[in-house]
């Protein structure tokens, strides 16, 4: 597997994993359990998102869209977001 992305934290790695997997790309994250060792290890770039080489071009395109802010919600995701917003209670 190839390293396609070096995440700043476990949350960002999860976002990238979700983006790629929702587009049919198999993902492996390494280093996610090292966050418990911060203080003992240098705290930078040790969480990696890996993919199969065959998915490289598609994954790079998706990551470019992610960084440019060009990703849009699908109709299903948009409906779910709207439903969630209408269910929320204002305080």
In what helix (H) or strand (E) does residue 79 lie, and over which residues does it extend?
helix 75-87
Helix (H, G, I), strand (E, B) or coil at 90: coil
User: How many structural domains is the chain composed of?
Assistant: 1
Domain that holds residue 57: 2-86
38 pLDDT more than 80: no
The model's pLDDT over 43-83, given as tens digits with 9 standing for 90+, comes to 566 789 999 999 999 999 999 998 898 777 666 656 655 66
Q: For residues 87 and 71, what is the distance between their CA atoms, to the nearest angstrom?
A: 25
41 pLDDT more than 80: no
Asked if residue 91 belongs to a domain, the reply is no
Taken in order 7, 9, 11, 14, the sign of the CA dihedral is positive
Asked if residue 34 belongs to a domain, the reply is yes
Helix (H, G, I), strand (E, B) or coil at 81: helix
Query: Rounded to whole angstroms, what are the CA distances from 3 to 13, 49, 70, 73?
Result: 12, 6, 23, 26
């Amino acid at each position: 597997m190839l390293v396609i992305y070096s995440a700043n934290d476990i949350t960002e790695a999860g976002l990238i994993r979700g983006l790629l997997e929702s587009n049919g790309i198999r993902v492996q994250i390494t280093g996610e359990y090292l966050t418990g060792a911060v203080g003992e290890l240098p705290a930078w770039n040790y969480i990696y998102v890996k993919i199969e080489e065959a998915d490289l071009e598609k994954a790079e395109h998706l990551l470019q869209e992610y960084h440019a802010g060009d990703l849009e919600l699908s109709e299903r995701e948009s409906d779910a977001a709207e439903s969630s917003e209408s269910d929320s209670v204002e305080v």
